[in-house]
Structure 1
Amino acid sequence: MLIARVELRNIKNHAEAEFSFQPGVIAICGPNGSGKTTILEAIAWVLFDHLDYKRDDFVKRGARKGQVVVNFISNLDGREYVVTRDTGGAYFVYDPVTKVRLIEQKNQVVPWLRRHIGVEPGTDLSSLFKTTIGVPQGTFTYDFTLAPSNRKSVFDQVLKVEEYRKASDNLRETIKHVDGRIVEADRKLAQFEGELKVYDEVRRDNELVESSLRALEGEHYSVSAQRDAAARELERLNNLQKSIDSLIGSVERLAVKLELSRASIAGAREAAEQAQAAAAIVEAARKGYEEYLGSSARLADLEKNREARDARRQEVSSAEKEMIEARTLSLRCSERLAEAASARQEIAGLAETIQEQESTEVRLAELREARGELTGLKRSLESTEREIEKLRNRYSTLSRQVEIAESWRDKALDAEELERERSALFDEIRRNEMSLSAFLVKREQLEALRKEQTRLSKDLDNRRSEIARLEPMTQMALSLGEMESRQRSIADRAARLRAELARDRDMISALDSGGLCPLLTEKCLNLKPGESLDARFRSGLKNRAAEIEEIESSHAQVSEEVRLARSAAAEASRLEQLRVELIRLGEDLDSKSIQFGAIADEIESGGVITEAGISKLKDRRSVVEQKLRESRDAEKLFSQAMPLRAELELVQSEGEARKKDNESLSGQIASLGDVESLIAAAERGLASLNDTRGRAALLNRIVSSEEQFKRQAETADRKVDEISANLDKLNLELRKFESLDADISGAARRRSECERDYQAYIANEMIALTAGSRHQEVAEFEAEIERLEQSHSASNQELKDLQQGYDAGAHRSVQAQFDEWREKATQISAQLDHTRERFARLQSQLEHLNAVRELASEILSEKAKTERLRETADFIRDTLLKAAPFITESYLLTISNEANQLYREITGRFDVTLKWSRDYEITLEEEGRERPFLSMSGGEQMAAALSVRLALLKELSEINLAFFDEPTANMDEERRSNLAQQIGRIKDFQQLFVISHDDSFEGYTDQIIMLGERKEITKQTE
């Protein structure tokens, strides 16, 4: 990976800092305390989740929050990402290309960083950084100076030696789980074996029950056929009996309807006579009614003229008002122009005293500021004294309130008992109100049913009248087809005769004096002696004209008959629907009558709850509620006692504090002295100048507005002229309306004279219009009575015919046969259901056993696989235990060789061999003699530790990045220079960060970042 940029905000001693990094070796140099190590710590905190102290100590002193932003190029996909973290808890990854936050939680950011840094999942990034990538300052050689057991715990973790042992131990749970699966398989196989013992017996029972089921189904089919035949005959007889019962009811209803119709015809005749009298009144008042309408229309037109006149008057009034305003403005502008001329002369004499006024004002402002401070202190003193007085009064009031609150204790204890009594009264009132409401609802239902019965009776009468009117039209409608055929025949005959008549007329016009036939152009041989062609054709023409006249008369008569027949057919088509509606209305009326009786019985049987009784209960409840409110108020008052005592103590302590404030304010007021006399003297001097500067400013403003007033004066004069012309025009228009008021009075007087006839006309007009319909209604009643008599007679005859074809004994016999077959079919059906249920159970049991056989076979196969898995797990666990030492030794050999090569390059001593032994001790072999790490000089220890850590980093990860914090510590100048040269030659790492407080690395690195105490500069070196 490659770190491209680091940005610090409020991190330790960096307020705002930004650093850009190149590939290669990067030296971060500067004096102690300049913040070199802070850059390393910031990168470790963001990319490796490593920080050696609290976050609060990482933030710049005085700042609330610190933030670090790191731009790096990923090892995974080669793209640049931005990771941001702050001490407030924010931690996210940002893609600068797509401009999207990829991840925003620490538990997601850290695994994402592992993938893109290039380490294995589960690697502890903090530990990796601390032990390998960026060893903290001062601890670079520390891990190698530890005792062997401590070194082992450190570097076993780095080399992941413990992971092999942990993996082997983790396999124990896997083997235990596999053993459990084998035991579970044996248990299930034993269970399945017990279930499968009954398999053959269940299969035989299933075959026997299936055979019995087929026999029962055949028998059930035969018996069901006999039962169904008896059911059809029984249904026919039941329908016949229902028809007879229905006709009996119909005959009775027709008799009732006949009586009702006879009773209704007298009222219809009386209504017809009333309508005839109203028609006479309407005719007598018609002339006065029409004159009233004419006068009203005339008044409406005149009213529009009056509105137009009033509008003109309003315009005149507005114009006169504008005239006054314009003249006033003109006069005011003239006065302002005179003032401006006077002000120009006065300004010249005021310049000398303005300077004196300004100096006096400065002195007065200083004195007033002092007075303001004194006034503020006095007001504070007065406020404090008022607060003290208020506190005294409040203390006295609180004392009395505490005493009063405690006096309500006894009455507050009655609240619960009163609440229970009120709840009981509420329940009783609610029950009584519900009963009363139910009674009122039933009474309303009864009235609604009574109205509905009346409506249904009226609808029944209307339907009967309509049916009686339409039934005679049925016969006429049936003859429509014959009439239409006859009409078409007559029309065809008339058309042929008209054609022949036209032809004869053409022939007559073509005859000449020679008597030649117009068709053959020769003498006609069919003429009688003395007969001419003209006479012959004219005789035929007369006969055809007479025949056409006769046929047209017949066609007109037949067309009228067809029209009447079509109208009758259209009307008769409604007859069937009306009969259906008649039956439905009769049934609805019967149903409403039954409902009416039922509700009336309920009202009579129920108890009576009166509103007076409920009112008494409510009065009693009001008394209880009043007592309860008093008790609740007492509770509230009593509950105030404790907070009032606390407030009493608070008022006492606050009073003491205000007394101390009062004493302090009195001292400050005394120190300020008397400034009022000085202010008075300054004000007298300023008053003697009469505000010369203000007067000059005012005069300048007046002069500056001179041009504006001239323009306003010209505008006002033009407006006066325009308004004057408009007024003359409006007054001329008003003369048109001089006679308007007299016209309105005359029209109103004529309308008043005709109002009596108008009222009589509109009062009787609607009744007069019903005269025809009321006479028609009388005729309909008469027709309805006739129709009902006919229907009653026909229904009696139909009833006799049906009763002759019905035999009650045969009906009972068929009913007995049907019951017998039904009982037998029910018995067989019960046997069939039982057999089917047993067959289904056997089928289900057999399916279950078959499934068990298949499952047992699968478990046997799975058990064999599991046993093989158990053997494989044992082999892997044993291999892991044995492999750990060999893998560790292989790592150590590779790392030791790589570290030896690096050490020789760093120190320049190729006659020395560095070794890293199995107990993680570093030794140097020189001239056949080994020296342990503790016997080395400080510079040798630093170079050896650096070599081993670089070798570890190259071998154990894909990270080509390392940090060295003060690697030249404890080295002499020669070794520091040598180390700087060797680090500069390392090319296996993409970036190496070296932190140093001296100049050892100048000239040996690809980039140097110099830090000072107050500034940060970046210097590039090629």
Structure 2
Amino acid sequence: MKFDRLRLRNFKPYADTDLRFEDGVTVIHGLNGSGKSSLLEACFFALYGSRALDGTLDDAVTTGADETDVELWFTHAGEEFKITRELRRSGDSISTRTCTLDAPDGVVEGARDVRKFVGEELLRMDSDSFRNCAYIRQGEVNRLINASPRERREMIDDLLQLGKLEEYRERASDARLGVEDVLSDKRGGLNKLDEQIEAKQAKDLHDQLNDLESDLRELDDEIERFEGNREDARETKEEAESIIEQAEERESELEELSEEIEELEASIRETESEREALLDEITEIRERIEEREAEIDELADAAGIDDATEDAVADAREALDDREETVREQRQEQRDRVTSLESEAESRRDEAERLREDASEKRERADELESEAETDEADLEELRADLEEVVAEREEIEARFAEAPVDIGEAESHRAALREELDDVQAEIEETVGQLASARDRVEEAEELLEEGHCPECGQPVEDSPHVDTLEADRERVEELSAELGRLNGRKADLKADIEDAESLVDAESRAATLDERRELLEARVEELADEIEADRAEAEELREEADDLAAEAEEVENAADETETDAEEARERVDELDGELEDVDGRRERLDAVDDTLVAIDDDEDEIDRLREQRESKAELADERRDRLEALRERRDELREQFDRDRVEKARENRDEAVDYLEKVEAKLDSLAERRDELTGEIGSVENEIRELEELRDDREELAETVADLESLHEETEQLERTYGDLRAELRQRNVETLERMLNETFDLAYGNDAYSHIELDGEYDLTVYQKDGTPLSPEQLSGGERALFNLSLRCAIYRLLSEGIEGAAPTPPLILDEPTVFLDSGHVSRLVHLVEEMRGFGVRQILIVSHDEELVDAADELVTVEKDTTTNRSTARREDAATLARAEAILEGDD
């Protein structure tokens, strides 16, 4: 795998960065805290997502930003890929909004699927394995050595793809243990079945069944005999009960007939009594009618009518209704007038009150305007003072530009011209550096030839050579170029100083523009505030005049309200007079009602007499019907008395009692026999169940015996599989250990390169031992800090080589990433690290990315990435540079010095 391009937006300190990577060694350098390591973290994050971060997704987003984009282009196995991750803030949390991997065969979407595709399909390593193999992070160079033996063994096995074999062996072991548990359980079940079968065979179940079935047949015969006797007794009982029931029915009917005859005789007497009562009531009502006819003439005179008839009452009532309607209309008119006048008076008083309130509000508003005008006058004085200060500062800037090389408005173009001139001088410096290097090379070559006695131009012997004088010319050229380079550097320094002055003028020019805008605003505000003060005072005077007018108008409205109240009082008196007239009308109507009520009462009494006469006739008819019914009942009673036989009924009762007594005894006997039959049936069923259980146990034993045999065979197979995986893992680990030991010795020898140590041994558990020349064994922890760091780097590089050479073509390894590998190294050890990096390139590592500010590593780079942080914005930028060109320029400058 090779990283091709990285684009970041709002990732940690990077606002917007687009960086390309090339083959070979790329060193990322810059000041501490500038964000160098964040570039490598971004690559790691692109591949593995949140698992590549030490913190949360929120830590990946630039402070103050709500979204982050990371894009990584890379080449893998000759094919091009691109990963895009987009983070977005939602509320207080950050989440992945988009995660896609564009592959030659299609697009993989979703953070989980992309991480799985990278870890399982492309690199065949998860994020931890990537960190252990290819990504040596700052401060983690001793990760493998400081790990416990078990952790180190698991790390290296996972990297070398041996962890899967151990996983398969553990699965086989789990399966074997599971089979053992099941087999033990099944064997126990088989033994239990044997015991159960033996116990049931000892009971002679078939003999027991024959004896019980013989007893059951004898019991059934006895039950059948008793059931026949019970049926005869039931027939006798039913016949006797039928005779008794018929007799009881006749006796009951006689009793009912006697009671009904008595009830009819009583009801006939009661009906005759009710007819007499109705006759008395009719007599009373006739007397009441005569009394009301006598008093009705007096009521007619009191009501003012000539005749006590319905027509006379109706005519008098119609006349009263007309009079009442007229009076009520007059009273309603007066009431409406009272309401209108009262409402008008109240409205006028409300209007007067409103006018007074408006006058008061206008006076209050006038006072507020006067107060605001006084406050605005104070503000106006402050604004005028501010305006004077702005004018003074603007005059100071004009005075400064009077002494400057440009006028106001030309500072920006002046700064741009100086920067352009500085770029030209820089280009001249670079060109002069190249010419100076070439001239120095010619002088050095010529001097070497002169020392050997040959011409620097043609290589012929110096004697009689026509080109002897050119050496002096080249030396003069070197001096001229050196002088020119010094002059250009001086001019460069002058231009930088001039640019700083120009920057100051640009700021002053910008300040002048701000002051002009401020002056315009202040002048406009002064004029506006003066107008407001004048307008407020004029409005206050106008409001006071309006308040006086409103007060006068309120007095006039109050007087009008008093006059309206007087008119309303006169209307109320007229309403009282009309109410008296209506009372007279109501009194006469009550007298008419009395006449009318008496006429109605007389008619009701006549109707009541007719109704009572009808009732009396109806009761006479009812009494005749009841006498006919009484005669029929007496005849039926005589017939029943003749049919009743008391001796036959007594005999039937004796037969019934004997039958009931026998049935009670035979039922008890049959219950006893039934219980015995149920017991025998249960015992037969129990024996039959045990026989069936015996057969089922024999079938279960045969089936379980086959299962035990199958499990024993399966147990042997899982044991063999477990041993196979363990042997294969041990064999492959031994092969990898031998190869890794060889590569580790080669790599450590390249990295360390002294005569203090003879070799390194690596055992089957990846335990490391370093041997001195005298044969003394040392653990890696006993090495010095720098030696231990080189030892760990050598181990990590050896593992990387083993992976690269062992599975080349199947899963190409990622770039080798070293983040600040020189933290624990002195200058001598750094040189060995540089040598190790060069040798790793020789082993075929296509791309090495190093974060470091060490000059030796920078000099050894093919490509340089310079990281800088803007202290004002706290944002970082990264740019790629050609390491060879920079190295030549620095060498020339050092030579010139």
TM-score (norm 1): 0.44
The TM-score normalised by the length of structure 2 is 0.48
